[in-house]
Chains A and B, each alone.
Chain A
Amino acid sequence: MILQRFLTRLLTMAVTLFGVAVVVFVVIRIAPGDPIAMMLPPGASQADIDRLRALYGLDKSIVEQFFIWLAGVLHGDFGTSISLRQDVLGLVMNRLPATLELSIVALLIAVAVGGVLAVIGARERGTAVEAGIDVANGAALSIPDFLWGLAFILVFGVLWPVFEISGRVSPRLELPFVTQFYLFESIFRLRFDLTKDLLSHMFMPALALALPLAAIIAQLLKQSLKELLSLDYVVLARVKGFSETQVILREALKNAALPTLTLVGVQFTFLIGGTVIVERLFSYEGLGNMAIDAVINRDLPLIQGIVLVFALLFVLINLAVDMLYAVLNPRLRHG
């Protein structure tokens, strides 16, 4: 059963990715702005323009261009960046780990904060504590991540500078890393001085990304928990002598987490989408920051490469959520 589900998902994933590739390819060619015109000085001859256009294959029809590009992608060749004049795949893979680390740290913060608030809110249901959590959730939800980012820069970067507000790591540090996963590698190498520096850079953008998601988790999980807390098996656990907190953690949390999990999967992709602006805000050297440069420079191959990697990331996350759901829900596993 699980295998069949998995294979179906793989097929849909391929179709999705193909669709994304087509749309992006067409849209960025229809959008105004000519990358070649931007590369050449004003007053370049038409012959020069045509030569450069041919060099990047932009003189062919859009359909031809697409299949040339697609054939390349299937062989692992995403083309050459127009603005950076480097291999697109290399550029993207160099930046992707930074964005992944940021997103994962943000997700962990969101799950931790949202989960704790949900459990406290469910335990204190109907009291002022729950009302306070609801108000905080509303505030966190109604302010977008980049505004949180600006507020944090102002408060923790300028007025009370406890965190770094720019970049991924302090430039003065010697980095022994062989991968681009600086944070994970620093932990793995037990270089906690570097971990601390990396986290100090990462904390504010991660928190800005995490807050809206934390609010969603807190709200939804609290609601699911409250619905479960009047069920018979929860009442039975109270009779057994478990305290309300124990009852929530032992009996209700896992079952309440199932509906939340699906939503977290979807919201996590939004969170990753949010890295584009938030990374820019904090000059964090990730994929999102590079995406903005690529768009400004009309760097068609680079935009295509970045969008395709983001799309792949999104479908993989959805797949992971689906599989996790099946693992957590015994009825699906045996069904």
Chain B
Amino acid sequence: MIPALEISGLSATLANGARVLRSVSLTVEPGEVRALVGESGAGKSMIGKAVLGVLPPSVRIAEGRIGLEGTDLGDLSAKARRALIGAKTALIPQDPLTALNPSRRIGPQTTDRLTKILGWDGTRADARIRQLLDEVQIRDPERVLRSYPHELSGGMRQRVLIAAAFAAEPRLIVADEPTTALDVTVQKQILRLIAALQREHGTAILFVTHDLGVVAKISQKVTVLYAGKVVEEADTPALFADPKHPYTRALMAATPKYTDPFASLKPVDEAVLAGLATEIAAADRDWRAPHG
């Protein structure tokens, strides 16, 4: 089966030559949810941005390939890449408060990909978004579609964004910490909705998060990232049952537990980090950015 997403040996550097991604390889099979977990700054969002072709200008892909359903993004012209990403992928963004244009109504914002990029007619796009709004349990689509973003709550906006992401039946959705910016109570509902829609539509998801609790709930596969380097990759149950890498174990130990909320929070063990630093330094010695 052709993977929905296949990344192999992806390295990225900043303008000053510093590596932010270190030969990252991962695949997301069709219909599968792969969590990409790591601390902030580990480069997990960077991978999502690379897949969607929206890396900041300061970041350059040095080597490696990104394949969307078997098509290598590097082989395409900028325009063709834009079109392919628009047709095959979608993004559920981190912060629903900033991911909607404040001066455009929800209706046109959520259907413009369908009508302007995929060439659907307005009636079909409208029917489609209403169906999706129903799936994310928005009961008054009429009002919501006519609203401006500031007239909706954060949770509502995230539902709208989820509906819009699924509306075009993308092959792959990148969910970039979609619950981080929300209230704890809303987080669970949103997570459940994403899981439900994912099952219903069979969409592959690359789920970027720093929260191991979320990983356990939503994903079948996990990739653990540290400093732009994959340190462990496993099926989700296997990872939780038997974490192989010391960093993964340290990360789990550092996760607060609801069963014991008063236990003091432990940072990741220093010795583990020192070991990782040595590992990464060794890898970087052998690596030289192509084209200088």
Contact = CB atoms under 8 A, between A and B. Distances in A.
Contacts of B18: none
A270 interface: no
Contacts of B86: 239-242
B66 interface: no
- Among A230, A233, A250, A255: residue with most chain B CB under 10 A: A233
A196 interface: no
A246 B79 CA distance: 12
A331 interface: yes
B53 A255 contact: no
A85 interface: no
Contacts of A238: 52-54, 82
Contact of A232 (B56, B95, B109): B95
Nearest to A335: B150
Given A231-B98, A236-B99, A239-B89, A331 B150 contact: yes
B83 interface: yes
B91 interface: yes
A238 B117 CA distance: 11
A318 B104 CA distance: 25
A232 B93 contact: yes
Contact of A239 (B57, B90, B100, B109): B90
A250 B90 CA distance: 19
B72 interface: no
Contacts of B102: 255, 330-331
B240 interface: no
A238 B55 CA distance: 11
Prevailing SS type, chain A contact patch: helix
Contacts, number: 73
Interface in B39-80: 52-54, 56-57, 79
Contact of B99 (A126, A233, A255): A233
A29 interface: no
Nearest to B79: A243
Contacts of A246: 116
Interface in A120-137: 126
Nearest to A231: B98
A151 B161 CA distance: 55
Contacts of A235: 54, 91, 93
A239 B83 contact: no
B252 interface: no
Contacts of B109: 233
A334 interface: yes
Interface string A106-128: 00000000000000000000100
Interface string B12-55: 00000000000000000000000000000000000000001110
Contact of B98 (A232, A240, A328, A334): A232
B150 A330 contact: yes
18 contacts: A232-B93, A232-B94, A232-B98, A235-B91, A236-B99, A238-B53, A240-B86, A240-B90, A241-B82, A241-B87, A241-B117, A242-B112, A242-B117, A250-B112, A254-B103, A255-B101, A330-B102, A334-B151
- Identify the 5 closest CB pairs spanning chains A and B, nearest first: A241-B86, A240-B113, A241-B117, A232-B99, A232-B98
Given A240-B113, A241-B113, 6 more contacts: A232-B99, A233-B98, A239-B86, A239-B91, A246-B116, A334-B148
